[in-house]
Amino acid sequence: MARGDAAERDSAFGFGGTWREYAPIAFTNLLLTIVTLGIYSFWARARTRRYLWSRTRFIDDRLEWTGTGLELFLGYLLAIVLFFVPLGIIQFVLQGVVLRGHPGAAILGAAILYIGLLYLVGVAIFRALRYRLSRTFWHGIRGGSDEQGFGYAGQYLWRTLVGTLALGLMIPWSMTTLWNRRWNAMSFGPLRFQAQADWRNVFGRFLLFYLWPIVLFIGLGAIGVMGLTAGGATPTGGGGVAIVLLGLLFVSIFYGLLGVIALAFYAAYFREGVGTLTLGGLQFGFTARTKDFILLFLGNVALVLVTLGIGYIFVPYRNWAFFIRHLEAYGEVVLEELTQSTTREPGQGEGLLDAFDVGAF
Runs of H (alpha helix) within 169-237 = 171-184, 203-233
Q: Is a pLDDT exceeding 90 seen at residue 343?
A: no
Cβ-proximal residues to 51 (8 Å cutoff; 6+ apart), any chain: 17, 21, 22, 25
- Helix, strand and coil percent figures for the chain, each rounded to 5: 70, 10, 20
Q: Is a pLDDT exceeding 70 seen at residue 220?
A: no
Cβ-proximal residues to 157 (8 Å cutoff; 6+ apart), any chain: 115, 118, 119, 122
Mean pLDDT across 227-245: 59
Q: Is a pLDDT exceeding 70 seen at residue 291?
A: yes
Confidence of residue 248 (pLDDT cuts 50, 70, 90): confident
Q: Which of 66, 51, 47, 56 is nearest to 21 (CA)?
A: 51
Mean pLDDT across 153-172: 91
Percent of the chain past pLDDT 90, that is, above it, reads 55
Give the single-character DSSP code of 4: P
Q: Which of 351, 357, 356, 355 is nearest to 128 (CA)?
A: 351
Q: Are 26 and 19 in contact (CB under 8 A)?
A: no
Q: Are 137 and 67 in contact (CB under 8 A)?
A: no
Distance CA 190, CA 231 (A): 73
Q: Is a pLDDT exceeding 90 seen at residue 117?
A: no
* Burial class for 172, CB neighbours closer than 10 Å (0-12, 13-18, 19+): buried
pTM of the model: 0.84
